[in-house]
Amino acid sequence: MAHFDQLTKLPNRQTLVDRLEHGLTIAAGGKAWVAVMLMDLDEFKTINDSLGHEVGNKVLVQVGQRIHACLRPSDTLARIGGDEFVVLVENIESDILVIEQLAERISKAAGEIIAIDGTELYVGLSMGISLFPQDGQDCETLMRNADTALHRAKAAGRNCWRFFDESMARHVARRLDMDTALRRAVERKELRLLYQPQTSLETGRIIGAETLVRWSRPDVGMVPPNEFIPLAEESGTIIPIGDWILLSACHQAATWRRENQLELRIAVNITAKQIHHKAFVDQVRDALDDSGLPPQLLELEITEGSIVENIEETVNKLRQIKALGVTVAIDDFGTGYSSLSYLKELPIDRLKIDQAFVRDIPLNPHDCAIARTIIAMAKNLGLSVIAEGVETREQVDFLRAEGCNEIQGFLVSPPIAADELAIRCLDAATIA
Ligand SMILES: Nc1nc2c(ncn2[C@@H]2O[C@@H]3COP(=O)(O)O[C@H]4[C@@H](O)[C@H](n5cnc6c(=O)[nH]c(N)nc65)O[C@@H]4COP(=O)(O)O[C@H]3[C@H]2O)c(=O)[nH]1
């Protein structure tokens, strides 16, 4: 039996069903989602009736090519009948926002003018989307529910898409709305940076600060970074925002140096997507050039989790960063999956013990053991150690006795405004 549609050379219905069944078997064993995006062309019958089947066929071929151009190599596009196409997206790990974005790309691409034999045509496309596992466990149910959603899209005025599950659509809409607002947040000056002191346990003095972003969203209030940073990471908005944070933090540290004679190391959180972005090293170099900050006063904090995503490329990028003279710390250390073997290879300067292990020191013997082990391991690898989330005197005593180099936490100060931090540093008080 043929596996491909003769006209468009795309997989046909049978091939789609085979791939979907295979995809569901794989997805059933893990956490990934699968999306079935069923689409058809609005008013295709009118094109066929008024301009003839030959033109209709050319339209189908062109639309097929346009949809195909929006996909990743691992996605499947099939033509399952007349003007019906299906896109199968497997292995959706992080967020269904990617499906919403894909639906938008496809609608836009299909909706552009099609020129056939000197005639210009517009073709609208409606789409219904069902998701495994929530909208069905098997091929038949998922196709049926995608079809129900497609009918809803048509009823809603065509040239749009609908998820089978409306609550899912609302969830996506909320996130999309937040992402759109976030994209504008920089130019509208809704983002601001706070700085949390980092203190040397040897001298008791503040030697640096971590940059922590805050978003005050009009009509909504403060949105915590734990909520919007992962979203920005997912959608790619982290690239312009991260660039702004990096540049602003470098300027701030340069200002402390120039105006307050403070040589403070400024730490900036960097996400996985930022590291892997092709312009990342240039962005860091530009931020240093633009601000005039000496490179050794800039530290990049990257989480353990983001390193394991693509270890080779991360090592490569970090080497380039180190070559600039910038230092690197591993954030949230102990929560990821670091193995000693690659920790040795990473060009890093500091380990940051996650606050989850600091919180119950000295009462919890397990946490004490973990903190002690991280400190000892860092020493063996020639790395410095900073503990985050330090809130009590007892924690300081324990960490100091174990040889931890620096601390950060509410005991010294919560994240504060830049001016306030300068005053704190100029104040003679130290952690004794
Ligand atoms: N309970 C307790 N908490 C303490 C203490 N000291 C500091 N914290 C909080 O712990 C978080 C430490 O930052 P993180 O692990 O990098 O975790 C950060 C980081 O992953 C992300 N984030 C914040 N700002 C940025 C940024 O500028 N860029 C990026 N990429 N991520 C950021 O959001 C996370 C949360 O940031 P925040 O809400 O500012 O929360 C901060 C800080 O306010 C303490 O003694 N006790």
Counting Cβ atoms within 10 Å, is residue 65 exposed (0-12), middle (13-18) or buried (19+)?
middle
What average pLDDT does the segment 286-299 reach?
Answer: 98
Longest dimension (CA), the chain: 87
Distance 226 CA to ligand 1 centre (A): 8
Domain boundary among 164, 197, 220: 164
Percentage above 90 pLDDT, the chain: 70
Residue 209 near residue 264 (C-beta atoms within 8 A):
yes
Residue 418: its pLDDT value, please?
A: 98
Task: Establish if 355 belongs to a structural domain.
Answer: yes
Same-domain pairing of 359 and 235: yes
Report the separation in Å between the CA atom of 133 and the middle of ligand 1, taken as the mean of its atom positions: 33
- Say if 176 falls within a structural domain: no
Asked if residue 170 belongs to a domain, the reply is: no
Q: Which of 148, 164, 180 is the last residue of a domain?
A: 164
| 93/91 Cα distance (integer angstroms) | 6
292 and 407 co-located in one domain: yes
C-beta of residue 198 within 8 angstroms of C-beta of residue 207:
yes
Sign of CA dihedral 132, 136, 137, 139: negative
Domain span at 135: 13-164
pLDDT greater than 70 at residue 200: yes
pLDDT attached to residue 31: 76
Residue 182, in any domain of the structure: no
Show the DSSP H helices in 156-237 as ranges: 166-185, 225-235
- Assess whether 109 and 228 both reside in one domain: no
Centre of ligand 1 from the C-alpha of residue 321, in Å = 23
Residue 301, token pair as written in the block: 């904090």
**Cβ pair 305, 336 in contact under 8 A:** yes
User: Of 164, 180, 197, which residue is a domain's last?
Assistant: 164
Please measure the distance between the N-terminal and C-terminal CA atoms of the chain and give it in whole angstroms: 81
If one counts the domains in the chain, the total is: 2
Q: Which CATH number characterizes residue 275's domain?
A: 3.20.20.450
Does residue 169 fall inside a structural domain?
Answer: no
Answer whether 88's CB lies under 8 Å from 36's CB.
Answer: yes
Contact by Cβ (8 Å): 212, 195: yes
Same domain, 150 and 218: no
pLDDT in tens, 32-72: 889 999 999 988 988 888 889 999 999 999 999 999 999 99
3-state secondary structure of 353: strand
Same domain, 196 and 117: no
Is residue 107 in a domain? Answer: yes
The answer to whether the pTM exceeds 0.80 is no
Query: Is 0.90 exceeded by the ipTM?
Result: yes
Most informative mutation of 195, 269, 352, 411 for ligand 1 (most atoms within 8 A of CB): 269
> Are 272 and 393 contained in the same domain?
yes
Same domain flag for 252 and 108: no
Q: In sequence order, what DSSP letters do the residues of 317-338 get, joined into one string? A: HHHHHHHHT-EEEEEEETSS--
Residues flanking ligand 1, CB < 6 Å: 196, 211-213, 224-226, 229, 245, 269, 271, 331-332, 355, 388-391, 409-410, 415
- In ligand 1, the atom with minimum distance to the C-alpha of 212 is 24
Q: Specify the pLDDT at position 275.
A: 94
Q: Give the nearest ligand 1 atom to 410 CA.
A: 45
Residue 163 corresponds to which tokens in the numbers above?
């998820």
Please tell me whether residues 131 and 198 are part of one structural domain: no
Q: Which CATH number is 97's domain given?
A: 3.30.70.270
Residues 194 and 132 occupy one common structural domain: no
Cα 415 to Cα 197: distance, rounded to the nearest angstrom:
7
DSSP H or E run through 198 = strand 191-200
Q: Within this chain, do residues 197 and 329 fall inside the same structural domain, yes or no?
A: yes
Residues 144 and 235 in one domain: no
Residue 2 lies in a domain: no
Is 7 contained in some domain?
no
Give the pLDDT score at 134.
Answer: 87
Same domain, 91 and 236: no
Strand order in the sheet with 84-92: 76-81, 84-92, 33-41, 125-132, 161-163
Non-local (6+) Cβ contacts of 380 within 8 A are: none
Pocket residue to mutate for ligand 1, from 182, 196, 212, most atoms within 8 A of Cβ: 212
